[in-house]
Structures are given as structure tokens and as C-alpha cells.
Amino acid sequence: MAGTDGSGAGEWNRFAEGSVERLMLSALSERLGTPLRPRQLLLAEGVRVEVEGMDAAGTIVVQLVANQGSYKPSYRNKVMADMFKLLWLRAAAPAVERAAVVVSAVTARALNGWVAVAAADLGVEVYLFDGADVVPLREQS
């Protein structure tokens, strides 16, 4: 990782106060004991990539899937795309050690069957946001 770019509209960037995404990231920060904030990374060869959450040391990367309302099959694609992004970052950015996805109760349905098994096998931590707190998805089984 060549560096991170903290520019933007403050430390929360596009996550307005009270937004589901900000609540999710705050709850995961509390659980992990470290502040997580949206960040932009600058990787080798000038590749820029945004993550919805990262700790100050750059060791934890997080993506959020906060969809509300009725479940749609496309949510599964979003979850899988975010997991792919996190796995790539873990390989491309030497400091990254942990990858996590936080899902809403609605999008948790996307993690049935092989998707949940793949996440566990590949070391992607999956957390369920209940509106106030996060718990590892596997504890919900």
C-alpha cells in the first residue's frame, strides 16, 4: 500500500450522522475496540480504491451492506462483490490483515448456503447489524 488519503468531507466522508452505514461502522468499531472510518487507499501503480471502513493502522478493511426493505436477489451480488474486493485488498495491501463485511438483517439472507461457508473458509469476518449492535453472523445460526 503506497498510502492512504484522508481527504474528503471529514472523517466520515459520505456517511451522514444517523445513517445506517455510520451506525454499522460505529458498532463494529466498538466491538473491535478501534475506530473505523471510510478511507481511500492508494495502491501500487497508482490504483485508488475506497473502503467503507478501515482502522488507523490500515490493518482492518470493512465493507457495509446496509440495504433495507424487502430482500432482492441482487443483494447477494453486492455481498459477494464486497467480499471479493476485501480479499483482493488483503492480498494487494501488505498492511491489511483482517477483512470484514457488516450486513443488515435484510441482506443476511444473501449469506445462506455456500456464500457463508466461502466467507468463513477465506477468512472474511461477517457481522450482522441489528440496528444498534453487531454480532458475528455465525452466532446467529
Domain ranges, ordered by start, for the chain: 3-140
3-class SS at 126?
strand
Residue-wise pLDDT tens digits, 82-125: 999 999 999 999 899 999 999 999 999 999 889 999 999 999 99
Residues in the chain: 141
Report CA-CA distances (Å) from 15 to 25, 38, 74.
10, 8, 22
**Residue type at 30 in one-letter notation:** E
Euclidean distance between CA atoms 90 and 94, whole angstroms: 7
pLDDT number for residue 44 = 86
Region 3-140: CATH code: 3.40.1350
DSSP secondary structure string for all residues of 24-65: HHHHHHHHHTS--EEEEEE-GGG-EEEEEEE-TTS-EEEEEE
* Nine cell digits for residue 50: 475506497
The pLDDT tens digits for 44-72 are 889 999 999 999 999 999 999 998 889 99
pTM: 0.87
pLDDT of 3:
44
The predicted-structure confidence for 32-48, as pLDDT tens digits, reads as follows 999 999 999 999 889 99
